[in-house]
Amino acid sequence: METVKIEKIVNRGYGLGRLKDGKVVFVEGAYPGEEVIVRLTLQKSDHAFAEVVSVVNGSEDRVKPRCKYFRNCGGCHWMDLKYEKQLEYKREVLKDLFTREKINVEIPPVEGSDLAFHYRTKMEFHFEGEKLGLRKRNSNVVVDVRRCEISPEPFNEVLEVVRDAVKVLKIPIYDWEERAGVLKHLVLRYAFSTDQLMVIFVTKTENFPWGKELKQALLRKIPGIHSIVHVMNSKDSVVLRGPYRTIHGEGVITEEFDWEKFQIPPTAFFQSNYSITAKLMRHVFEELQLKGNEFVLDLYAGVGTFSIRISYQCQRVIAVESSKVAVKAAKANANINGRRNVEAVEGDVLAFLKSYDGRADKVVLDPPRGGAGKEVMRELLRLSPERIVYVSCDPPTLIRDLKVLLEGGYSLVSLKAFDMFPHTYHIETVATLAREVS
């Protein structure tokens, strides 16, 4: 063990310090200015990772975490830090990353969430033996969670009912090592604008004869549940994928915003924070600077989150998405909102771009955490849109992709961060690029 002084916060939420021999160490759970005693968890040739054993001199910005599972559960990283300071540190992380890559851009304060607690629109809980909860950070071990402070209150009610019902009904829990058993996950979704709650049971098997009894147990205690769904997923690498059947209700929940209404099916992606999603949609729309006659590509479009609003001020939107379920929902959402100039296309984004030779006056893209990738960026350079708005949930992959565009004749005109996930190190960032005039 060794005493370390923390210099700054870096990507993935680590506090950066130096060991006695000068080697850089990344410390989980430590904040700038603190002096901490650490235990090394991983040694590499030029740096090390460590965890805090005790805090010698703590930051005045530390607070008592509201959640009793904090530090044991991997759901949150910074719940023992003042929320205002979390936003400051996220901005500093972005500044550090962009400065190191020599990308010059002004980074305004991070847009905070209206709710710092109980903000999540979706949570994925896992079964393991008699436990139902969330996994530890960087681990598959499940922490038995009775109450989650970032979940909407109805989620905590469902957790209690399901935990008891599964025991009474003696439903076989999936064994992650033996890859045998039935019940794997409990996924909960909530629509803040309509107060609609969806309960999703994810199983290894297609056969799930306990659905009726679980439905009865849930509705007896929580009669306002909007939908109960059974998803059949034989893969362990992803939680929410596979065919599904509706046990109760419509099998979708509806979320409403300023201008649009979305139906969200069980397995489709939708942003995890309602208030931040509303701000994000507004910002993306404004950054595109639409004039009314453009053809817009919406890449990784999901259920049409950005497409609907964009369609009000352009000639046509082509929404490209690889998920069949999400594409079906995007088409339904275009119809619900009366938008006939939205075309939802099912397919891989790169494959679509390689075969596309139509107009692309403006582009918005919101890829998964791995980013769009350099090949997609090169295809965008070929199409040469006037303006590109890139929504990212991972700054390093955003920077990797931006460098291709910057080297290809685009300028970075603005960067704006949003706090989609309070109490975590995750940063949602929107980069706006404009084609440089020759």
Condensed to tens digits (0 to 9), the pLDDT of residues 412-438 reads 999 999 999 999 999 999 999 999 976
Angle at CA of residue 358, ends 331 and 338, nearest 5°: 25
3-state SS class at 389: strand
Confidence of residue 169 (pLDDT cuts 50, 70, 90): very high
Active-site annotation holder among 76, 148, 314, 393 = 393
Kindly tell me the sign of the dihedral angle through the C-alpha atoms of 235, 236, 241, 244.
positive
Residue 96: C-alpha distances to residues 9, 14, 390 (Å)? 9, 13, 20
DSSP string, 282-313: HHHHHHHT--SS-EEEEES-TTTTTHHHHHTT
What is the enclosing helix (H) or strand (E) of 219?
helix 211-221
Task: Specify the amino acid at residue 128.
Answer: E
Mean pLDDT of the 378-395 span: 98
Q: What is residue 197's predicted lDDT score, i.e. its pLDDT?
A: 98
Report helix angle 395-407 to 374-383, nearest 10. Answer: 40
Whether residue 390 contacts residue 412, with contact meaning beta carbons closer than 8 Å, is answered with no
For the question of residue 148 being annotated catalytic, the response is no
Q: What percent of the chain has pLDDT over 70?
A: 100
Confidence of residue 137 (pLDDT cuts 50, 70, 90): confident
Residue 62: C-alpha distances to residues 28, 55, 74, 96 (Å)? 14, 11, 19, 22
**26-56 b/e (C-beta count within 10 Å ≥ 16 → b):** bbbbbbbebebebeeeeeeeeebebebeeee
Which pTM was predicted?
0.96
Query: Hunting for tokens 């989620």 — which residue is that?
Result: 155
Q: Which tokens hold the place of 252? A: 């979708």
Query: Hunting for tokens 């009000």 — which residue is that?
Result: 312
Task: Give the domains, in start order, of the chain with CATH numbers.
Answer: 2-60 (2.40.50.140), 122-256 (2.40.50.1070), 272-435 (3.40.50.150)
DSSP string, 140-190: -PEEE-S--TTS-HHHHHHHHHHHHHHHHHTPPBPBTTTTB-SEEEEEEEE
Question: Rounded mean pLDDT of the chain?
Answer: 97
Q: Which tokens hold the place of 279? A: 């701000």
User: Count of CB atoms within 10 A of residue 23's CB?
Assistant: 14
Mean pLDDT of the 299-315 span: 98
Q: How many CA atoms lie within 13 A of 18 on its CB side?
A: 5
Residue 148: C-alpha distances to residues 39, 157, 266, 382 (Å)? 28, 10, 21, 47
Mean pLDDT of the 88-96 span: 98
Write out pLDDT tens, residues 15-50: 999 999 999 999 999 999 999 999 999 999 999 999
Write out pLDDT tens, residues 193-238: 999 999 999 999 999 999 999 999 999 999 999 999 999 999 999 9
